[in-house]
Homo-oligomer: A and B are copies of this chain.
Amino acid sequence: MSARGEFPNVSETVTQASIDAYAELSGDFNPLHVDPVAAAASEFGGIIAHGPIALHAFLRAATDWLGVEALPPGSRVAVTYRAPTRPGDTIGCALTGAADADPLEAACVSQDGTTVVTVRATLP
């Protein structure tokens, strides 16, 4: 909607420090997230971030865009995980549909062009 202005261009760089912090707060210390040796031996070939970390750029952009401090009750955010996110990746988020669409459609894309997460959101 034009009243909301342009969807902001927010990007986030994923770091091992933020993955470690997420492990602490979520209680998810899976070796895929915190043990480089075990992660290297896994099918992923190295550390991957917890899924919700890839979503931070979208959440920041959406709250900025709505001009709210937090997503209001009734907000619905549907996330499809497409590819792993790794330490060092920079994730940017952009709308892939119209700014007045409902649901709003967005994609979070890493610096090498990989879509890591797609989002469909209904925001009050």
Contacts and interface: CB of A to CB of B under 8 A. Distances in A.
A74 interface: yes
Interface stretch (A1-9, A22-30, A90-98): A22-30
A70 B51 contact: yes
A78 B77 CA distance: 6
A80 to B, nearest CB: 4
Given A69-B32, A78-B77, A27 B56 contact: yes
A83 B79 CA distance: 20
B59 A26 contact: yes
Contact of A25 (B18, B63, B71): B18
A37 to B, nearest CB: 15
A32 B70 CA distance: 8
A72 B42 CA distance: 13
Given A27-B60, A74-B80, 14 more contacts: A18-B24, A21-B24, A22-B25, A25-B25, A25-B56, A26-B59, A27-B56, A32-B69, A42-B69, A51-B75, A73-B82, A73-B83, A73-B84, A78-B79
